[in-house]
Structure 1
């Protein structure tokens, strides 16, 4: 017959087993990963908890390695992110393999969660900008900034600046020939001209030149810039 003391021991053993975690958690980024974008969000989440993340370049698609703990496993499950757990010894063996000069791979330590800004008009719809759609889906927080914030000197408060299809020439994009009579195009032109007048510029091109110089100073000061589409022109 099992006495109360034995019951308590069994309960404690089961409880301890249920909360036992491996030393390390690996988030693969190869074909075994069910949700790559959400996986980036998990890496951001862990950094936000002031925990270190190691980026294993060219290992399983550029996997993320971190300490295993209760909250991170739960977050992975909630967000549908694939992961595996392993011992500290196994993780060290993997890193030793990647450190071999004959292997085209490396380990990058991620220590700080970056503060992200997206340069986008306040009137833009969520589906207008691929960058904001990706960041939102990945659950990576960001602020939307535009000409007001840039000219007010807010960029140095951020680590990353993302640009999508923004035209810095002051020519209102590349749609004049096809859409110059469309209501939405006329609204964008009116908004740009109003913004230029607000900041004391006679032309939108002068406004955008001032904004461009601020962005140039941001990158020269160590800020990271990601540009795509017409923003690279």
Structure 2
């Protein structure tokens, strides 16, 4: 009898231990996180391994909840990512807390890793300036895999193979960035060679075809993320379809004298009612249009901070995901297109972050797809001599709130998307 009692006690103790065992891993994204940027890489890796990840919107900075495993805990330790272990009871209590209709929180299940591509001239030329591309830097740092494409892949129709496309700081107008400070002769020749190969007489015509291919990708259900001049010049090229807006400085023939009046803003994604910049702009060849709210200052130092808006995690799920952060006041950073003039942003675009006089972070939908435009070049960037930039070492900025916005966009296509109500 005593033996039976002993066995029963051992069985009961074992059951209690099993119940108390950690069955979930919480990756906090508040100030207790040792490396915010690499935490996104953990989430992406688990999605790529066909595991689900719960994104806890507005809970401790937008934390992640994942089924526990020894491999997960090891991966977090190796990458220097903070984590906490939860029992089933603790995880259930947390979900109940988040589900309370009176709190601005939500659980969004991420299901599948997006196939990521970055549009960059590093595919075909040295492109030293683009070694400082913020998205390339943060994807590499977070250990999130990606492929690189350029004009030729888009012209061949390869985009539908992928889910998420980032545009580097490109000039889609065919004016080679309007500055030799950022475009090498090798870059220009590479674009001219592609245009010739595909039967275009000018680079501007080829770039328009590329811009239309990007818009078609987005309309068909793809997700587009663009920063700096990539966002601005994409819309300029779309609005100027069939109109020569390129001066003889770049293609040997003059621009249409009536180009401004012929722009069609119905063809753009985000911007309207903008005025093209002539060759007498800042430093002669730097700005494209007055979409850029800081065009007159060019590469001057940023003026202060911009603020993220607070969205309902239960009703405005998409912008809530895209603004998850441990900080909501973010220092401004510069670029060829630093910020977007408020009156140039279409009413259909949702502003998610703004400065005192400009919009910095905007979102929109077209067809079955979505896009996000983010002003500025590098959230933690600094310049070397002249306008040359030095690559950012993200080991020095593992908590960068500006870079977190980029990585929010990387995870967004993995969510069960819900339409926003406001």
Kindly indicate whether residue 205 of structure 2 is the aligned counterpart of residue 206 of structure 1: yes
Equivalent pair of 1:23/1:88 in contact (CA under 8 Å): yes
Tell me the secondary structure at the aligned position of residue 168 of structure 1: coil
Tell me the secondary structure at the aligned position of residue 85 of structure 2: strand
Equivalent pair of 1:193/1:203 in contact (CA under 8 Å): yes
Equivalent pair of 1:38/1:137 in contact (CA under 8 Å): yes
Q: CA deviation at 1:195?
A: 1.5
Q: CA deviation at 1:128?
A: 3.0
Quote the Cα distance in structure 2 between the aligned partners of 1:174 and 1:26. 47
Q: TM-score by structure 1 length? A: 0.86
Q: CA deviation at 1:21?
A: 5.7
Quote the Cα distance in structure 1 between the aligned partners of 2:75 and 2:184. 42
Quote the Cα distance in structure 2 between the aligned partners of 1:87 and 1:21. 6
Following superposition of structure 1 onto structure 2, how do residues 110-149 of structure 1 map, counting pairs within 5 Å? 110-121=110-121, 122=123, 123=125, 124-125=127-128, 127-149=131-153
Tell me the secondary structure at the aligned position of residue 75 of structure 1: helix
Tell me the secondary structure at the aligned position of residue 55 of structure 1: strand
Following superposition of structure 1 onto structure 2, how do residues 1-233 of structure 1 map, counting pairs within 5 Å? 22-121=22-121, 122=123, 123=125, 124-125=127-128, 127-176=131-180, 179=181, 185-233=184-232
Q: TM-score by structure 2 length? A: 0.48
Equivalent pair of 2:38/2:142 in contact (CA under 8 Å): yes
Tell me the secondary structure at the aligned position of residue 224 of structure 2: strand
What is the aligned length?
Answer: 210
RMSD: 1.7
Distance 1:111 1:133, change over 3 A: same
Quote the Cα distance in structure 2 between the aligned partners of 1:160 and 1:46. 18
Partner of residue 379, structure 2 = none
Equivalent pair of 1:21/1:68 in contact (CA under 8 Å): no
Quote the Cα distance in structure 2 between the aligned partners of 1:197 and 1:166. 19
Tell me the secondary structure at the aligned position of residue 185 of structure 2: helix
Q: Which runs of 5+ in 1 are unaligned?
A: 1-16
Greater percentage in helix: 1
Quote the Cα distance in structure 2 between the aligned partners of 1:100 and 1:227. 36
Equivalent pair of 2:21/2:87 in contact (CA under 8 Å): no
Q: CA deviation at 1:185?
A: 2.8
Q: Encode CA deviations 1:15-44: one digit per residue, 9 max, x unaligned.
A: xx9xx9611000011111111111000001
Equivalent pair of 1:21/1:70 in contact (CA under 8 Å): no
Q: CA deviation at 1:171?
A: 0.7
Q: CA deviation at 1:193?
A: 1.3
Tell me the secondary structure at the aligned position of residue 199 of structure 2: coil
Q: Encode CA deviations 1:169-198: one digit per residue, 9 max, x unaligned.
A: 11111315xx4xx9x633322222112111
Equivalent pair of 1:32/1:82 in contact (CA under 8 Å): yes
